[in-house]
């Protein structure tokens, strides 16, 4: 079993009656998963699938629609809404697939540094201890305070308590834009807040 996992996608919603799901790639411009790779569903549920793989994909690179193994109807697909797909690090392709139209580029490799990233190179991308810190989203504004920091999944999950209720946010660099001693500034997918409505 793999030791290191990478957050690959957020499941936005189900589509159609055959179990297709729309996903949002959260750690890159597109999904770069090796064909046949096993995917872990997190947080895991008591019922439903916990492990799957991609059977086929369509849509666009930025908003793919996936048929997942074991998901063959709308009911099963609906249970996955709001969950995440993790892939073993060795099954993540660092380079964009040939002909995809996208190329991988390290932040700051060419051109000016993204002003939403931490200014110093020695600061970690993710706060090592976030409990009690305020969380602000670049689109939705103040989300609340980190009330819990769970290590039950390969990626740390923050429970942010505030005006939107309890919002679960994976502590991954794909969502975090910058942070200081008291606040974290994030950019999360719309579906994350819709789960609490």
Residues 71-81: pLDDT tens digits?
A: 989 888 888 88
Residue 104 lies in a domain: no
End-to-end CA distance of the chain: 37
Residue 127 lies in a domain: no
- Helices first, then strands: H and E counts in the chain: 2, 13
153 pLDDT more than 80? no
101 pLDDT more than 70? no
Which of 91, 126, 159 finishes a domain?
91
Does the pTM surpass 0.75? The reply is: no
CA 9 – CA 4 distance, rounded (Å): 16
83 and 142 together in one domain: no
Output the domain CATH number for residue 180. Answer: 2.30.30
Residue 69 lies in a domain: yes
Output the domain CATH number for residue 63. Answer: 2.40.30.60
28 and 83 together in one domain: yes
CA 165 – CA 71 distance, rounded (Å): 30
Residues 9-25: pLDDT tens digits?
A: 888 888 888 889 988 88
Residues 26-41: pLDDT tens digits?
A: 765 677 788 888 898 8
Total domain count, the chain: 2
79 and 9 together in one domain: yes
> What's the mean pLDDT when you consider all of the chain?
76
DSSP-assigned states of every residue in 153-184: SSS-EEEEEETTEEEEEE--TTTEEEE-SSEE
Residue 123 lies in a domain: no
Residue 97 lies in a domain: no
Residue 59 lies in a domain: yes
Q: Which residues span the domain enclosing 174? A: 134-194
């Amino acid at each position: 079993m793999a030791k290191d996992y990478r957050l690959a996608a957020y499941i936005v919603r189900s589509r159609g009656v055959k179990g297709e799901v729309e996903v949002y790639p959260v750690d890159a411009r597109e999904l770069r998963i090796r064909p046949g790779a096993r995917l872990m569903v997190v947080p895991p549920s008591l019922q439903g699938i916990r492990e799957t793989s991609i059977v086929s994909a369509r849509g666009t690179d930025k908003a793919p629609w996936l048929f997942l193994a074991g998901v063959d109807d709308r009911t099963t697909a609906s249970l996955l809404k709001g969950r995440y797909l993790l892939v073993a690090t060795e099954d993540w392709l660092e380079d964009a697939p040939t002909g995809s139209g996208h190329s991988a580029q390290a932040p700051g490799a060419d051109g000016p540094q993204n002003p939403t990233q931490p200014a110093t190179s020695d600061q970690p991308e993710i706060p090592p201890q976030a409990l009690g810190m305020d969380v602000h989203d670049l689109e939705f504004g103040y989300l609340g305070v980190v009330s819990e920091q769970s290590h039950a999944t390969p990626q740390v999950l923050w429970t942010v308590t505030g005006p939107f209720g309890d919002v679960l946010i994976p502590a991954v660099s794909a969502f975090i834009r910058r942070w200081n001693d008291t606040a974290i500034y994030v950019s999360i997918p719309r579906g994350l807040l819709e789960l609490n409505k």
